[in-house]
Chains A and B, each alone.
Chain A
Amino acid sequence: MYKRNKYKVKSNKKIAKNVYEMILEGDTTYIVRPGQFINIEIDEFYLRRPISVCDYDSETITVIYKVVGNGTEKMSTLKEGEILDILTGLGNGFSEKASGERPLLIGGGVGTPPMYNLCKKLIEQGKKPIVVLGFGAIDEVFYEDKFKKLGAQVLISTVDGSYGTKGFVTDIIKQLKDYTYYYACGPKNMLKAVYDIAVGDGELSFEEKMGCGFGACMGCTCKTKNGDKRLCKHGPVLKKEEIIW
């Protein structure tokens, strides 16, 4: 179930290199699972910007986005109190039930945000998640402390080795054993690498250029073993066993 509503910008601040955290106030009742996304209208831009939900409660939605183009650049200039037109409740999200006792949560860059609410929910359910986050360099790292505060074990990699393990998330994952299930979100090449080396079942969240964000335009369709899927509606999360690379 998805709806359009108006949201007030409560805060919008830089938290790492080119990465911003924005907190929005408004109706959150249509967000039902971690891993879903919202679609934000930005003045002067024709299409909305789909951004994954990092966290939400009964009154606020937290999103984290990277400035990658003119639209997100404009978004980064939004001030407290500004009103935005947003579609919420989009996408399928992660299935928490599959996690087992010790799930592995893998985030690459701005693939990290959806792991936060998932981690929170899993810890509330008494699970013991391991969080593996990958970034380019130390100045891009964010949310390490927030995950630790939830009570998760957090392991970080940077490509240049300026923080944590040098290399990619997969350099950490291949050392890990005994995780019960995995969840991953990040760039496609990271997802493929994780898919190739992670053990057991899991689910992966994909990104694609979208027109509408709610299944109408068929702009973001991909092939899966369960037939063609619109990533905005039947995704962005796909189960490991249905993915065709």
Chain B
Amino acid sequence: MVDTNNEKTYDLSVNLGDFKLDNPVIPASGTFGFGYEFEDYYDLNILGSISLKGTTKDARFGNPTPRIAECKKGLINSIGLQNPGIDAVIEKEIPRLRYSYKKKVIANISGFSIEEYKECCEKIDKVEEVAIIELNISCPNVHNGGMAFGTSPEAAKEVTKVAKEVTTKPVYVKLTPNVTNIVEIAKACEEGGADGICLINTLLGMRIDLKTKKPTIANKMGGFSGPAIFPVALRMVYQVYEAVNIPIIGVGGIETADDVIEMMLAGATAVEVGAANLKNPYACKEIIDDLPIKMKKYGIENLKNIIGMAHQ
């Protein structure tokens, strides 16, 4: 973008390995459907990329409703990985998104066993539209799966290794914040061959309805997201940046261009915007429109140059 007043050019582009993004803003998995739910609102091609709804081997209905609870500065969700299954995502959802989105996407893959992760990665490996596989080992809303892999360094390393064996696409592992030591998990993923780290998923939380005196969500607990978790996400990105040598996608409570810049200063190469999309469907567009203005304000000409700058 060219600022005509003082003839400065603002470069928003970033690189996740070989994947070149026009800007660092990516809608986060689970908050953007399969993308086309937002096509009425704005031209999706302005986005850096799109992280698709978490996908499993088989179709899943997800958890019982109510699945949503409002919080101050955020919400709790307990969707439970509702998705039509890997085959339908490849045959129907990704081609459907193609009508309105021409860039490459990030496929978010989840599973209940190593074999399921493996099978999904094998299948998605053949999909040209997919630039990156985001290995979701951090879903707090399913039992015996998801987060179970993300809370043990050994399991995280193992599932990363298996994914890497069956795909040539870059594998980014999405981590849960519900652990004692995020750094050792991130390091284990790097040792397992991860091409990048994505963090954080939601924080396990709950609400109780004062009228019924019972948990608001049918599944009792769920994943807390929204601006309230931003400082936690920022801290974890900062810690992981110091410990690994692979790119980081920072996610958690990002709502504004200021948040994007702050997350990149902590060490994120790109960011994902989650809960904000649900409250304001234009959130990503507004952030992208505002980024050059904020870059000017903070004296930043090239976003790539600020990645991890807070560590210097």
- Chain A interface residues toward B at CB < 8 A: 1-4, 41, 45-48, 71, 87, 208-212, 214-223, 228, 233
Contacts and interface: CB of A to CB of B under 8 A. Distances in A.
Contact of A217 (B30, B41, B61, B226): B30
B227 to A, nearest CB: 8
A192 to B, nearest CB: 16
A221 B75 contact: no
B53 interface: yes
Given A2-B40, A216-B38, A219-B77, A46 B279 contact: yes
Contacts of A46: 70-75, 226, 279
Closest 6 CB pairs of A and B: A219-B68, A212-B278, A209-B66, A215-B37, A216-B33, A211-B68
A51 to B, nearest CB: 15
Contacts of A233: 37
B37 A214 contact: yes
Contacts of A214: 37, 281
Given A1-B40, A46-B70, A228-B82, A221 B65 contact: yes
B108 to A, nearest CB: 13
24 contacts: A1-B40, A2-B40, A3-B41, A4-B280, A45-B70, A46-B70, A46-B73, A46-B75, A46-B279, A47-B75, A47-B278, A48-B279, A209-B67, A211-B278, A216-B31, A216-B32, A217-B68, A217-B79, A218-B33, A218-B67, A221-B61, A221-B65, A221-B79, A233-B37
B282 interface: yes
B277 interface: yes
A147 to B, nearest CB: 31
A2 B41 CA distance: 7
A217 B69 CA distance: 12
Contacts of A212: 31, 277-279, 281
B17 interface: no
A176 B61 CA distance: 38
A10 to B, nearest CB: 24
